[in-house]
Structure 1
Amino acid sequence: MKYSLALPLSLLGLAASAAAQVANVTLEVISSDSTIDGKFLTSIHESAGVNYVFLADSGDSYIYDYGVNTFFGTSFAGVSALLQVDDELLTVSVLDGYTKFDIVKGNTLAVNGSSSGFYACKNTGDPYSYSTSAYQAMFYSSDAPSDCIPFTIEYVLVGQSAKNSSSTTYSNSTTNATSTSVPTATYTGGAGMLKASAALTVGVVGAALALVL
């Protein structure tokens, strides 16, 4: 991982989705292992501009933009960070690039078309050793450690749980052939979203310059 002035350029593409609907959601862990089933993803600071993702009883709130299938999460000095798969790590960071999370089977997250690959692991060697006592969210496309627990991720409205709202059907306030059904807790369209996207891009430029310098 490295800091790069290319970050604002990568976010310019996100600004193009200015009319996309967004929703305040949390990310819930679904697993056949009761130890982690029903936990939520939360992020903890581990490096400059980078949070590592762990499992906890409550989770971070995200803004999901299904125009680009991207999750905006924790902010760093007012700059929104993105949920990303970075090698084997699941992070929330301001580093270059972003991960596209497709939505399959309702509200289930997928990377490269698959909802598998997410694992809860301990003793990963994270910088501050949080994983000695908490499960860290990792991503392995193959050869996951045998002591890690596989899970999938579903997104739900803040304060809800997939366990308790499985009969609830979420729908878009605007529907088109390519849109994905998402919770509609928050909607910003047209100029409002464009203004927010522009402000985000300007903020990221300043943050990236500060990080490089």
Structure 2
Amino acid sequence: MKFSKLALPLLGLSAGAAAASTLNVTLQVSSKSSAIDGDFLTSSHEGAGLNYVFLNSDVGETFTYDPSTTQFAAALATFPYVLQVYADILTASVLGDDDQFTIIDGTTLAINGSSSGFYACKNTNDPYQYSTTQYQAMYYADSTPDDCIPFTISYVTSGSTAASNGTASNATATSSVATVPSTSASSVATFTGAANALQAGSAVAVGVVGAMLAMLA
């Protein structure tokens, strides 16, 4: 089979374009409770391929957001950790994405068309007991748990913030660089760099192979 002299180089360009279509974002909480309003979401290791999501008042983990799939992924090493709900727990895990999330009101995360159902809870008996001191992000579709605080989630990019007092921001994403408080930048868990590097590297590799095949054709 004779390969087109343009096919594989263009394939490389397509892969690069796909990588560029994602945004780096943080996820910010809006709540009527001042205890958590304005907090950011971060994930912590709780098992093999499994992170639980917690609220943090200072910094937010950086996720890559793909508008075409409304998928939020945090890449640890070579494994994509995707934001998803399992057994009422908001996780960043490799368990497989079930496409639960949609985006409403511009930047607000929703499940089954609704932004409600997210709760901040303590003492959830998580494996490493982080919830004894931190609020853990949970999702309850049909019940309201005792001693938990409801909230909504908005994704935040540079130049926009989630509105306070329980109203999610409608701001349009203006940049692919996430907003991070400068005083806490050193402690931000940024997992997207490795993923973007892998994507870019794949695009370059495919383009090079295409060029070599074109020369031999």
Percent of aligned positions with the same letter in both sequences? 51
Larger Rg over CA atoms = 2
The reply to whether residue 196 of structure 1 matches residue 199 of structure 2 is yes
Displacement after TM superposition at 1:82 (Å) = 0.5
Q: Is the 8 A contact 1:49 1:76 kept in 2?
A: no
Q: Secondary structure at the match of 2:144?
A: coil
Name stretches of at least 5 consecutive residues in structure 2 with no aligned partner. Answer: 1-14, 178-195, 203-217
Q: CA RMSD in A?
A: 2.8
Displacement after TM superposition at 1:160 (Å) = 5.6
Q: Secondary structure at the match of 1:155?
A: strand
Change in CA separation of 1:20 and 1:159 when aligned onto 2, cut-off 3 Å: closer
Q: Please give the residue correspondences for 1:1-213 in structure 2 after superposition, counting only pairs within 5 Å.
A: 18=18, 21-57=21-57, 58-73=59-74, 75-157=75-157, 161-163=161-163, 169-170=171-172, 182-185=173-176, 196=199
For normalisation by structure 1, the TM-score amounts to 0.68
Q: Secondary structure at the match of 1:84?
A: strand
Q: Secondary structure at the match of 2:199?
A: helix
For normalisation by structure 2, the TM-score amounts to 0.67
Name stretches of at least 5 consecutive residues in structure 1 with no aligned partner. Answer: 1-14, 171-181, 187-192, 200-213
Change in CA separation of 1:38 and 1:46 when aligned onto 2, cut-off 3 Å: same
Change in CA separation of 1:26 and 1:158 when aligned onto 2, cut-off 3 Å: farther
1 or 2, which has the higher helix percentage? Answer: 2
- Cα separation, 2, equivalents of 1:82 and 1:62: 9
Change in CA separation of 1:87 and 1:40 when aligned onto 2, cut-off 3 Å: same
- Cα separation, 1, equivalents of 2:87 and 2:200: 27
Q: Is the 8 A contact 1:31 1:150 kept in 2?
A: yes
Change in CA separation of 1:60 and 1:69 when aligned onto 2, cut-off 3 Å: same
